[in-house]
Amino acid sequence: MTGATDRPGGELASGLLDPELWSTYPYPLLARLRAEAPMAWHRERGFWAVSRHADVLAIETDAATFCAGKGILVDEIGTTFEAPPTILHADPPLHTRYRRLVQPGFRPSVIRALEPAVRARARTLVERLPLGEAVDILTELAVPLPIQVIAEMLGVDEAEWGRIHEWSEAAIPGATDWPAERRQQLLGEMVTYLVTATAQRRAEPRSDVLSELALASLDGDQLSDTELAMFLVQLLVAGNETTRNLIAGGLVAFAEQPDQWERLTAQPDLVPIAVEEMLRWTSPVICFLRTATRDTEVGNQPVAEGEPLLMLFASANRDEEVFGPSAARFDIGRDPNPHLAFGFGNHFCLGAALARMEARLVLEELLARADRFEVAGPVERTGSSVIAGIRHAALRLHPA
């Protein structure tokens, strides 16, 4: 085995967790990693940074060799979990059991049934956007829509919707600069609310996904209250921050490359393909971690049992080997587009269809309202190295 100091890419990888990198422009560093050290050892925190599409895919498709149970975030390296804190941390066979129990709540007919309500919410928000003046696309559209949609899907009382935003912000490392005590207090409130709501649904089911999940059972097997609360917390978080940044980041991309919006107005049937490009381009989840369960190799680099590997989706999605010379261009006609924004394999995003639908409906509603739009102020990004977050983005819309 190579010693930690002989391992490749240490200099390059050491910049990877710097908030400054993610709040500005990470792509030159990611491109250098892919070219010079596709498997780069992060000396300070002890993990492999995996930047090529093929290597990320190899890890994602081999859950036996690369487990999630020892942590999915760099901050979790070295932590031991008695039970998986989220479904994302579960490995087979437990993970398979979770998926079988929760998947029915996300089946295509459930998502399709939500479309009219989601469209109405998207339309109301888009119609309220002022034309001809700078508007913060986060506060007016990208933040409220996913919160409304996930809350509506679960059947959370409308009175709680404002709190969901705070709860979800509290759960994402680096999303805010709130003190740890405030975050803990909000997370506690969220769990209490969800546990109470679950008990209510078990007693008096309604026609919502919360009831469906509370009552889901398979061969007599049911999710326990703790498992369900854990899963619901994750849904509130996963369904919010990611979709928000997909919408905000995608619209910023269109504003910065107006020829692509022009193309979409001329060819609105490109909308679903454009959503895939928004996903590739924004990569709302920057990375997740796995741990090698045995000595192995990734991209010809020996990896020892117990070593963590950080799968950089944001880099894989710009890999020239897969996306060709136009990898660094926002091209809404890109097809095929095998991006990894939703991950791959057994943990593939459960909410992918919902997120795709939200982004599609936003584009469709905006096409009816805006002929073109432009950036009208600085785009402020968070420094999170997990979620590609945008705090503020002022755009100016011009009427269709």
Question: Which positions touch ligand HEM (CB under 6 A)?
Answer: 60, 87-88, 99, 150, 234-235, 238-239, 242-243, 246, 284-285, 288, 341-345, 347-351, 354-355
Q: Rounded to 5 degrees, what angle do the CA atoms 139, 149, 138 make? A: 15
Nearer to ligand HEM, 106 or 193 (CB): 106
Nearer to ligand HEM, 39 or 279 (CB): 279
**Shortest reach from residue 359's CB to ligand HEM, in Å:** 7
Here the tokens at position 144 are 């409220």
**Shortest reach from residue 234's CB to ligand HEM, in Å:** 6
Nearer to ligand HEM, 10 or 343 (CB): 343
Nearer to ligand HEM, 25 or 348 (CB): 348
**Shortest reach from residue 289's CB to ligand HEM, in Å:** 9
**Shortest reach from residue 151's CB to ligand HEM, in Å:** 11
Nearer to ligand HEM, 230 or 397 (CB): 230
Which run of H or of E encompasses 203?
A: helix 180-203
Q: Look up residue 326 and give its DSSP letter.
A: G
**Shortest reach from residue 99's CB to ligand HEM, in Å:** 6
Token pair 């998207």 is at which residue?
122
| Alpha helices per DSSP H over the chain | 10-13, 19-23, 27-36, 53-60, 94-102, 108-128, 137, 144-154, 161-171, 180-203, 209-215, 225-256, 258-266, 271-282, 313-316, 320-323, 352-369
d(CA 345, CA 365): 33
d(CA 191, CA 233): 7
Report the sign of the C-alpha dihedral through residues 272, 344, 145, 283, in that order. Answer: negative
Nearer to ligand HEM, 99 or 202 (CB): 99
Q: Please measure the distance between the N-terminal and C-terminal CA atoms of the chain and give it in whole angstroms.
A: 62
**Shortest reach from residue 4's CB to ligand HEM, in Å:** 26
Q: Look up residue 105 and give its DSSP letter.
A: G
